[in-house]
Every structure is written in C-alpha cells, then in structure tokens.
Amino acid sequence: MEGGMKGKVCVTGGSGFIGSWLVKRLLEDGYSVTTTVRSDPDSSGDAMEGCIGVFHVATPVDFVDKEDAEVVIRRAVDGTLGILKACLNSRTVRRVVYTSTASAILFCNNSNKMECCGMKVIGVRLIT
C-alpha cells in the first residue's frame, strides 16, 4: 500500500497540541500522515489527496484578541464545512474523525466553571 503500511491519512491541526500527539501515534501505528497549513485554507484538498481517512482536529482559537464568540464559531463552522466538502470531493477518503474544540467551553459565560475542565486558559481567566 502506498504511503504507509496501513495507508495515508490527513490530520488537520497536526502542529497543535492534540494534533501533534495524534500524528506521532499514527506514524507509530504504521500510517503515512499529511497535515494542513493554517494560513492556507485551500491546502486541505491537496493534503487529502490519496488519503483513506481524515482526522479533523484543527480549529481557530483566539487567546489574545478575544474576538466575539460569533466570529470564532463562524470561522470554525466554515473551516469544518470546507474540510467535509474536500472529503466528499475526494475519491479515496472513506472515514472522517471530527473532534470537538476548546472553543466549546472557552466562551461559556457561566461564572460557575466546572473544576474538572482543567484547561490552563480557563484557569488563567478565573484568576486574572
């Protein structure tokens, strides 16, 4: 099989925290891995060429500018739709794994944050 013994997969967000660990594990398990470039939204189609699966881990996260939730959510939805359309247009992609994002809880306005969230960003926001 071309690429890796188990086939070729694409990981969006492969340079992020979760994505980089996923890439490492997939390589250890015998897959050939490609990833997308955040600054080039059109790179996803090329990165998926010849892939049997896609792991969509990427999402826009704004820790500094504190953009409105609507802006970040719209960007995440549009990005996910772009990835899914590229998968549909692919002749080889058979499976897509989509993960949730930190953004799902970052914009929670509830003052009673769950203690088990454990995310550094939330912890920093609680004490600053």
How much is the pTM?
0.74
pLDDT recorded at residue 98: 92
Q: Which two tokens stand for residue 62?
A: 């704004």
Q: In this predicted model, which residue has the larger pLDDT, 103 or 90?
A: 90
Mean predicted lDDT score pLDDT of the chain: 79
Domain boundaries, the chain: 7-127
Q: How far apart are CA 12 and CA 99, in angstroms?
A: 11
> What is the fold of 7-127?
Rossmann fold (3.40.50)
Distance CA 5, CA 65 (A): 43
pLDDT at 122 over 60: no
With CA atoms as reference, report the closest residue to 79 among 40, 46, 105: 40
